Chain A
């Protein structure tokens, strides 16, 4: 029988070390818990000093901790109810495909939202969204020891300001756009329903829904051995984050929800640099702020270019056509702004980060099912 750890609130760091410890001890369980104090959690492949504004976290007394499951930087606080599911790798309930694991294990939180009157659906790969498409939970998972862990959180309320403040981003323009994009694309029970239900009620419904999936669960408490391991892990996962390295660039891209990103692009034209800060949703420019330091950059022209690019789909031919038309219409010298380069800059899929290769994810997805025959050729 799967154990149930209904833990109420724990200190921030413990609310995350707990699932690591129980997974390492190979204990099948559901953990329902909230962090008593705010915490920033970074993904396994992220660097704290690259992704997180450590100065801001220190100023606001927010701990930063690495987790051993996937995803990116996340702001967590007491207005979230975490569900953390630990199962042994061989458990036949675990779907084979990863996307199917998210779909199956997301069903209880989806039903929980629905029981409180909120129509929420699963959006692959790992988001829960309202009918209007606003993200209301992000999820992540991974293998830890001989277990798999699936984790997410019900958002009773969401602190947009705090969540945008903890990210290490290039400047205020970027941060303001990130804040605006979060407000537009992330929501909470309080925002959708007018007020958030009681946390206890949400916890109870969540457990009931997980019991439909997992069968009856056996209530359990954290043993001294588990607590000891949690303390060890806390030290390991919060090892002092160094001050930002000299010359280390802040992140130029932040994912807000599935398909929604705020990005910074730098374009070196003949006469100087153009800085573009864009909110991109499903490959379309939703908002854009442009600044520059050369003659072309008379404010009127920049504002016109912003207006021209809003709503434009980020496809090479479409974008180049729009930019060419802009130059013709307003008498801008296309060579002076380096039109071709500008289009390339805007289209850049991802900026290189440590451990994060330049990927054309769609092209890679196409390849998954068509492994080349040559690949199978024997080689020594």
Chain B
């Protein structure tokens, strides 16, 4: 798959496969054939976060809630939350991240996955998530808003480029 492929959207330089769902806190959800949901961090997150140094995974059996933090990630001396995109119980976690957390950087949609969740109300949860097309509009709006704010403050303070 290439950046121009119909199977992914490239928005502001960030890649988003079109076959998965996205939460606004930058987790993705892929519905597997067995009905469980694989979850990971999206390309936007890994790029703005920098090199991932540590990942705290939820335990298997842990009940996750949509929109609620279920783990932590450290990069650039910053602790970010892993926010679950769906409700359910964790049935598997990616222990490879304990050995190499940078898989979240190098393969965010594949070997860098975080956990697999057995969902309890999948259809309802999916309605709250975005597809790549919706993400496009939302992300562009968000980045535009952020840039406008930065420009406003830069001109007020004479600060350097952010």
User: Measuring CB to CB, which residues of chain A are less than 8 angstroms from any residue of chain B?
Assistant: 43-45, 68-71, 92-104, 107, 125-126, 139-143, 212-213, 355-359, 361, 364-365, 367-369, 371-380
Complex Cα–Cα for A126 and B76 (A): 8
A sample of 5 more A-B contacts (CB under 8 A), given A44-B72, A102-B77, A359-B102, is A68-B79, A95-B150, A104-B159, A143-B69, A365-B50
The contact sample of 16 A-B pairs, CB cut-off 8 A, is A92-B146, A94-B146, A96-B48, A98-B76, A102-B76, A107-B157, A142-B72, A143-B80, A357-B100, A359-B102, A361-B51, A365-B50, A367-B102, A367-B106, A375-B112, A376-B110
Q: Are the C-beta atoms of A92 and B145 separated by less than 8 Å?
A: yes
Q: How far is the CA of A380 from the CA of B33 in the complex (A)?
A: 7
Instruction: Give the contacts of B58-82 with A (CB-CB under 8 A).
Output: 69, 72, 74-81
Q: Contact check: which of B108, B143, B162 meets A104 at CB < 8 Å?
A: B162
Provided the pairs A140-B78, A213-B157, A374-B110 are in contact, do residues A368 and B47 lie with their beta carbons within 8 angstroms?
Answer: yes
- Interface residues of B: mostly helix, strand, loop or mixed? mixed
Chain A residues in 8 Å Cβ range of B149: 92-93
Asked if A377 and B110 sit within 8 Å, CB to CB, the answer is yes
Asked if B131 is at the interface (CB within 8 A of a chain A CB), the reply is: no
In the complex, the chain B residue whose C-beta lies closest to that of A141 is B78
Digitize B84-114: 1 where CB-to-A-CB distance is under 8 Å, 0 elsewhere.
Answer: 0000000000000011111001111111100
Question: Beyond A95-B150, A141-B77, is A367–B105 a contact (Cβ under 8 Å)?
Answer: yes
Number of interface residues of B (CB under 8 A): 59
Say yes or no for B53: interface residue by CB 8 A criterion.
Answer: yes
CB-based contact A70/B102 at 8 Å = no
B155 adjacent to chain A (CB < 8 Å): no
Q: How far is the CA of A94 from the CA of B159 in the complex (A)?
A: 15
- Chain A nearest Cβ from B20, distance in angstroms: 8
CB-based nearest B residue for A111: B157
Interchain CA distance A344-B21 in the complex, whole Å: 45
Residues of chain B within 8 A of A68, CB atoms compared: 79
B127 within 8 A of A: no
Complex CA gap A143/B26 in Å reads 13
A93 in contact with B153 (CB, 8 Å):
yes
Within 8 A of A (CB), among B109-162: 109-112, 142-143, 145-146, 148-150, 153, 156-157, 159-160, 162
* Closest beta carbon of chain A to B156's beta carbon, Å: 7
Report the separation of the CA atoms of residues A103 and B56 in the bound assembly, to the nearest whole angstrom. 26
Q: Which among B2, B69, B106, B162 is the interface contact of A364 at CB below 8 angstroms?
A: B106
Task: Give A32 Cβ to nearest chain B Cβ, in Å.
Answer: 20
CB distance from B14 to the nearest CB of A (A): 9
A375–B156 contact, CB under 8 A?
Answer: no
**B153–A45 contact, CB under 8 A?**
no
B81: chain A residues within 8 A (beta carbon): 143
Question: In the bound complex, how far is the Cα of B78 from the Cα of A374, in angstroms?
Answer: 29
Closest to B77 in A: A70
B48 and A376 form a contact (CB under 8 A): no
A70 and B78 in contact, given A365-B51, A371-B46, A378-B7 (Cβ under 8 angstroms): yes
Point out the residue from B3, B50, B54, B69 that lies within 8 Å of A368, measured CB to CB.
B50
Which residue among B54, B98, B107, B109 has the maximum number of chain A CB atoms within 10 Å of its CB? B54
- Find chain B residues with CB under 8 A from A377 CB: 1, 110
**A368/B51 in contact, CB under 8 A:** yes
Alpha-carbon distance between A379 and B38 when the two chains are bound, in angstroms: 10
Q: Are B77 and A125 interface neighbours, CB within 8 A?
A: yes
